[in-house]
Amino acid sequence: MLARLWVANGIESKATVVLLVVFALAIVVSNALRFAYHPCTSPYGYSSRPADYHWLEKYDAATHDPVYYASDPQDGETVYVGPDGVYYKFLHAPPIDPADLHSTWCPQTPPQ
C-alpha cells in the first residue's frame, strides 16, 4: 500500500525514498541540536535578566509563554529572551522574527 502511495506521488524508486528519509532525519537532528545548544555562558537567564534593561513582558502567540523584550541601553538595539533562556539581539522593534534567530546575544555581568 505504501509503495502505491509513493508511485502516486511520483516517488518510484526505493533510493529516492531512502534519500527523503535521510533528509528528513537530518532536519530533525539539526533542529534538535540547534535548540539544545546554548550559545553563551552568562550569569543571566530567562528568569534572571539584566536589571538595567527595563524588560517588557509579552506572550508568544504560538505557545502563550511569556517572553521578554528590552532595549539595550548602550546601543538601543532590541533584546529578546524566551523560555529557552537564549538571548537574541536585533535592530527592529518587537516582535522577534525567524530571521533574527541567527543573532544570539550573550549578556555579561556589568562592571563593578
Structural domains in the chain (count): 2
Residue type, 85: G
pTM above 0.85, yes or no: no
Residues 30 and 72 in one domain: no
Residues 94 and 56 in one domain: yes
Answer whether residue 15 is part of any domain.
yes
Mean pLDDT of the chain: 78
Residues 27 and 61 in one domain: no
What is the H or E stretch that residue 80 is in? Answer: strand 78-81
Structure-block grid coordinates of residue 106 = 550573550
Residues 32 and 57 in one domain: no
DSSP states of 42-107: -S--SSS--GGG--EEEE-TTT--EEEEEE-TTT--EEEE-TT--EEEESSPSSP-GGGGG-EE--
Answer whether residue 78 is part of any domain.
yes
Residues 24 and 60 in one domain: no
Of 96 and 40, which is predicted with more confidence?
A: 96
The top-scoring range by mean pLDDT among 25-29, 30-34, 69-73 is 69-73
Residues 54-69 have a mean pLDDT of 94
Scan for cell 509579552, then name that residue.
58
Residues 30 and 55 in one domain: no
Query: 100 is in which domain, residue-wise?
Result: 51-105
pLDDT in tens, 4-24: 655 566 666 666 666 666 666
Residue 64 has pLDDT above 50, yes or no: yes
